[in-house]
Structure 1
Amino acid sequence: MRRRTFFQVATALATFGITGCTAPEGVPADRLARLARGINMSHWFAQAPFSRATLQSRHAADEFRTLRRVGLSHVRLPLDPYVLFSERNPARLDPDRLPLLDAALDMILRADLAVIVELHPEDRFVDRLATDDTFVAAVTQFWRALAKHLSARDPGMIFLEALNEAHFDDPPRWEAVLRRLLAAMREGAPRHT
Structure 2
Amino acid sequence: MKKIFLLFIMTVTTMLCTCNAKSFTIHRGINISHWLSQSDSRGEERIKWFTRDDVKFLAESGFDHLRIPIDEEQMFNEDLTPDSEAFGLLHKALGWCKEFDLRAVVDLHIIRTHHFNAQDKPLFTEKKAQERFYECWRKISAELAKYPRSMVAYELMNEPVADDPEVWNTIVNHCLAVVRELEPKRTIIIGSNRWQSFDTVKQLRVPKDDKNIIISFHFYNPFMFTHYRASWTDMKDIPCTIHYPGNLISDNDFEAMEQSMKNRYGYAAGKNGYNDINTLENQIKQAFDAATQLGKKAYLGEFGVIHGAPEKDRIQWYKDIVSICEKYGIGYANWDYKGGFGIIRNNEKQQQMIDVLTGK
Both structures adopt the same fold (TM-score exceeding 0.5): yes
Residue range with higher mean Cα deviation, 41-50 or 95-104: 95-104
Could you list the runs of 5+ residues in structure 1 that have no partner in the other structure? 1-27
Secondary structure, aligned partner of 1:72: coil
Residue aligning to 2:45: 54
Q: 2:86 aligns with which of 73, 76, 97?
A: 97
2:102 is aligned to 113
The match for 1:37 among 28, 42, 66 is 28
C-alpha distance after superposition, 1:82-123 (max 9, x if no partner): 1122453x3x42334321221222223322111100011168
Partner residue in 2 for 1:170: 164
**1:131-146 alignment runs, 5 A limit:** 131-146=125-140
If asked which structure has higher relative contact order (CA below 8 Å, sep 6+), I would say 1
Letter in 1 for 2:66: V
1:120 aligns to what SS in structure 2?
Answer: strand
SS in 1 for 2:66: strand
Runs of 4+ in 1 over 4 A off after TM superposition: none
Deviation at 1:159, TM superposition (A): 0.6
The two structures have a TM-score, normalised by structure 1, of 0.75
Q: Matched residues, percent identical? A: 28
- The offset of 1:131, in angstroms, is 1.4
**Which letter does structure 2 place at the counterpart of 1:185?**
V
Structure (1/2) with the larger helix percentage:
1
1:141 CA drift (Å): 1.1
Task: State the number of aligned residues.
Answer: 162
The answer to which structure has the higher strand fraction is: 2
| Match runs of 1:44-83 below 5 Å | 44-83=35-74
Q: In 2, Cα distance between the equivalents of 1:123 and 1:84?
A: 11
Contact 1:39 1:72 in 2 (8 A): yes
Contact 1:150 1:189 in 2 (8 A): no
In 2, are the aligned partners of 1:147 and 1:185 still within 8 Å (CA)? yes
Counterpart code for 2:90: L
**Does the C-alpha gap of structure 1 residues 178 and 61 become closer, same or farther in structure 2, counting only changes over 3 Å?**
same
Q: Distance in 1 between matches of 2:73 and 2:182?
A: 19
Number of the residue aligned with 2:147 = 153
Classify the secondary structure of the residue corresponding to 2:153.
strand
Give the CA deviation at 1:183.
1.5
Q: Which secondary structure does the structure 1 equivalent of 2:67 belong to?
A: strand
TM-score w.r.t. length of structure 2: 0.42
- Secondary structure at the residue paired with 1:160? strand
Deviation at 1:130, TM superposition (A): 1.3
